[in-house]
Amino acid sequence: MILKSITLRNIRSYREPVTIDFELGTTLFEGDVAAGKSTILSAVEFALFGLGDLNGSFLLRNGMENGYVTLKFEVEGTEYLVHRGLTRKGESVRSADSFLQEGEERKKYSAKELKEKVLQLLRFNEPSNPKAQSVIYRYAIFTPQEAMRDIIERDSGTRLETLRKAYGIEQYRTAAQNTKTISTEFRVKIGDLRGRTADLDRERQELFRVRERLESLKSSLAESKKKEEAVAGELDSRRIARQEMEKRKEEMGKAQERIPLLVRQLHEAEDSRSSAAKEGEGARKRVATLSKDIERLAAVESPTKSAEELDRESERLEKEITSLRDESSRLSERLDNFRNLMETGVCPTCGQEYEADQIGEKKAHIDNELGQIRGKLEALEDEKRSVNRIIDLAKDFRVAHEKLKILRDGLRESREREESSTKLLQRMEKDLTELNEQLRQANKESEPILRMEKDIQRIGDEIQRLEREHSSIIKQLGGIEKETGGLKGDETKLEAAVKEKEGLQKLQSSLEEDRTWLSEYFAPTVELIEKQTFANRNQHFNQQFQRWFQILVDDPDLRVRVKEDFAPVIEREGYEQDYRQLSGGERTSVALAYRLALNTTVQEAALGQEPNLMILDEPTDGFSKEQLGKFGDILRELRCPQVILVSHEQELENLADRVYRVEKANGESMVSVAESHQK
């Protein structure tokens, strides 16, 4: 990456828009302390990667609502322009409008998306966490002076963690940690799978039992079907035999058919004989009766009242009797109700309770009333019967004279019928004798059919027995098939459960193998790779550290190196010396050599190339004039296409290709090209 220009507005001490051009070679930003030099470097980092772990209030000028940084840079020959804004909302300052321009194409991004895009362009392979600074940028291109002192003086664990991120090998530690996490998850999963497959043997045994039962039912089903076929065959045979017997019976049944006819004729003849006898007897009786009736009718007297008067009297009595009967029924019903009340003590209609004495009094009253009504009714009925007798006598009298002639004719006819019946009776006796003979002969001829009917009945009984047996077998078959269907459903479920749990068991076994491989092979291998990689980085770092320090400090008795944890070790005349006991220039030399070693090794490790941009903030603080001169050797030795220096040392002007002077007046910073370097 090569920087081309930067524009700041309302960024810390820069109020009005300020544009600074960057060129290849060494550029120096010179000015007094707090003039605003480091703000330019912070603005470059903000433009590329956003706020990171910075508070927006650190960058946005106090009292201003909005600000922005626009940075133009080049990557592998392609020029880009990145813009990031800041806006104040209440007590906080947040990222605002952000975009990236390539050529004429400009595209807006969120703060997070813009950081991801810039990391891709720069090929910085690191997480795009918007709340963190770019580790590769911090340790390969720009490391603030205070951050360098901090990393030197940190504890071993923190320093190594920082360097893991800088060298891009934290993935080994992450992989190791993830391996432990995954191994733990595998262990939990394996425990869960063991619990879920604990009853696998029981379900296998249950499946075996179900299959055994199915085989047994299959055998029983086959046996029952065989038995059903045999019974059905026998049943069909018996039915055919009965049909054949019934057919033979039908063929032989003519004589038997005559028997009912003869019996009927015999019965009819007997009935006719009986009728004739009765008719003769009746005729004789009728002769006697008619004679008496004629005598009686002749003696009938005329009634004292007319027929109309007798009818009206009868109608009146009938109405009174009907009324008394209705009243008697009503009282009887009430009497029954009182009997029920006396038994239960509760009214069946309203549910009210009554005392027995109260009910008894009412019952006695009704009994008395009912007795009186029945007495009246009996008297009226006697009177009505008397009237009816008179009516009947009146009717007899009216018709007596009409019937006298008819009765006399009837008497003559009855005497004739009596004589005819005697002759008919004699003839029927002869017919009965002939019919009895025919019936005896028919019964004799039907005896074989009677025996056949017994055989048919016997076969019918056998058919009923076989039908019951067949029905029982069919029911048994239905039970077997139903149980078989249920067991097949159980078998399917158990097979699915066993198959699933066998799969889980295989998965458990696979997870156990994977966990063993992760714990015993992969994790140790990753740790070994990380250790070896760190050792290689440490060796290369140590070489660079010693190289840069020897250029800065020409003292054969003063040597430097780094430990395995990258802690700097200073040896004077063979004895280790504490970093804090060094002179200011020596401490700066150690810090600068450490920074350059870190910058170059991180650049090579992370990007696979020598640095083409390096930013150094106050790299010579505390240097002597002699050391300042040697710093020029450092710059030449770096062979970096673009170096940006920030310093308050005017002596560095001679080492720079371009010098910007940064000054502050009335709280506002201004940037101008130094006169000695104006073109």
Q: What is the pLDDT of residue 74?
A: 93
Q: What is the pLDDT of residue 345?
A: 67
Q: What is the pLDDT of residue 668?
A: 92
Compare 45 and 651 and report the one with higher pLDDT: 45
* Lowest-pLDDT choice from 169-178, 295-304, 463-472, 520-529: 295-304
349 φ, ψ (degrees, to nearest 5): -90, -50
Evaluate if residue 330 carries a pLDDT over 70. yes
Residue 292 one-letter amino acid: K
pLDDT band at 196; cut points 50, 70, 90: confident
Q: What is the pLDDT of residue 298?
A: 64
Got the DSSP string for 8-27? EESBTTB-S-EEEE--SEEE
Mean pLDDT for all residues in the chain: 82
Coil, helix or strand for 366?
helix
Evaluate if residue 164 carries a pLDDT over 80. no
Residue 535 one-letter amino acid: A
- Determine what percent of the chain is predicted with pLDDT higher than 90: 16
pLDDT band at 67; cut points 50, 70, 90: very high
d(CA 414, CA 409): 9
CA 650 from centroid of its chain's CA atoms: 77
Q: What is the pLDDT of residue 69?
A: 96
Q: Which fold has domain 1-141+611-679?
A: Rossmann fold (3.40.50)
Evaluate if residue 107 carries a pLDDT over 90. yes
Q: What is the pLDDT of residue 349?
A: 62
Compare 328 and 348 and report the one with higher pLDDT: 328
d(CA 85, CA 9): 9
Strand-by-strand arrangement of the 568-572 sheet: 558-562, 568-572, 575-577
Q: What is the pLDDT of residue 204?
A: 87
What's the mean pLDDT in 279-292? Answer: 73
Residue ranges of the domains in the chain? 1-141+611-679, 254-445
Question: What burial letters (b/e) apply to 546-583, b meaning 16+ CB within 10 Å?
Answer: bebbebbbeeeebbbbbeeebbbebeeeeeeeebeebe
pTM above 0.85, yes or no: no
Q: Which of 147-156, 213-222, 404-413 has the highest mean pLDDT?
A: 213-222
Evaluate if residue 279 carries a pLDDT over 80. no
Residue-wise pLDDT tens digits, 501-518: 889 888 888 888 888 888
Evaluate if residue 679 carries a pLDDT over 60. no
Residue 26 one-letter amino acid: T
Q: What is the pLDDT of residue 66?
A: 94
| Beta pairing, strands 558-562 & 568-572 | antiparallel
Q: What is the pLDDT of residue 597?
A: 86
- Determine what percent of the chain is predicted with pLDDT higher than 70: 87
Q: Decide if 338 contacts 366 (C-beta within 8 A).
A: yes
Nearest to 612 by CA among 140, 56, 7: 140
Residue 226 one-letter amino acid: K
pLDDT band at 256; cut points 50, 70, 90: low
List of residues 6+ apart from 519 with CB closer than 8 A: 179, 183
Q: What is the pLDDT of residue 603?
A: 76
Residue-wise pLDDT tens digits, 292-327: 777 766 666 666 667 777 778 778 878 888 888 888
Evaluate if residue 262 carries a pLDDT over 70. no
Evaluate if residue 79 carries a pLDDT over 90. yes
* Class at the top of the CATH hierarchy for domain 254-445: mainly alpha
Evaluate if residue 479 carries a pLDDT over 60. yes
d(CA 122, CA 134): 11
Residue-wise pLDDT tens digits, 605-664: 766 666 689 898 888 877 777 878 888 888 888 888 999 999 888 888 888 999 999 999
Q: What is the pLDDT of residue 70?
A: 96
pLDDT band at 255; cut points 50, 70, 90: low
Q: What is the pLDDT of residue 259?
A: 66
Compare 472 and 405 and report the one with higher pLDDT: 472
Q: What is the pLDDT of residue 3?
A: 96
Q: What is the pLDDT of residue 339?
A: 74
Question: Would you give the DSSP letter of residue 522?
Answer: I
Q: What is the pLDDT of residue 105?
A: 92
Evaluate if residue 436 carries a pLDDT over 90. no
Q: What is the pLDDT of residue 241?
A: 85
d(CA 10, CA 666): 14
List of residues 6+ apart from 190 with CB closer than 8 A: 508, 511, 512, 515
C-alpha dihedral, 339 to 340 to 344 to 350, nearest 10°: -120
pLDDT band at 400; cut points 50, 70, 90: low
d(CA 650, CA 659): 10
Compare 157 and 490 and report the one with higher pLDDT: 490
Evaluate if residue 587 carries a pLDDT over 60. yes
